[in-house]
Amino acid sequence: MRSRRYYITIGQKYMSFFIFFIITVLLFLIFKRYRSVNSVTLVIVFILAMPTAALVYGLVASNSGSFIFFTQKIRLQELYFMLAAWYAIGIVCSVKIIRTYIEYRKINIPQ
């Protein structure tokens, strides 16, 4: 019986970097201080537009039930689960940003 060796392909490296980049951006946006409602709205739209763009790309690029993303073949079912998790994370981040903004307004704006 031969032992199997698992190699990380170039696509997996890029995919891992992409996921790390998304997490870093979301953490940065969570901990940033927002001083206006416009900036909070813009950030929330940006957070929810990222998975929407990935969904549109996935639906347009998939002709045979799967598509290639960073040289990795992903089935549509896997894409749907990934995007559902991404949307959930985006909603949690949006709620955190709104709560932080409300707390900032209570402390820094005299009533």
State pTM to two decimals: 0.76
Task: List, for residues 57-72, the tens digit of each pLDDT value.
Answer: 878 777 766 776 666 7
Task: List, for residues 2-58, the tens digit of each pLDDT value.
Answer: 555 554 455 556 667 778 888 899 999 998 888 899 999 999 999 999 999 888 887
Distance separating alpha carbons of residues 49 and 57, to the nearest angstrom: 12
pLDDT, average across residues 97-105: 92
Q: What is the pLDDT of residue 71?
A: 67
Q: What is the pLDDT of residue 7?
A: 47
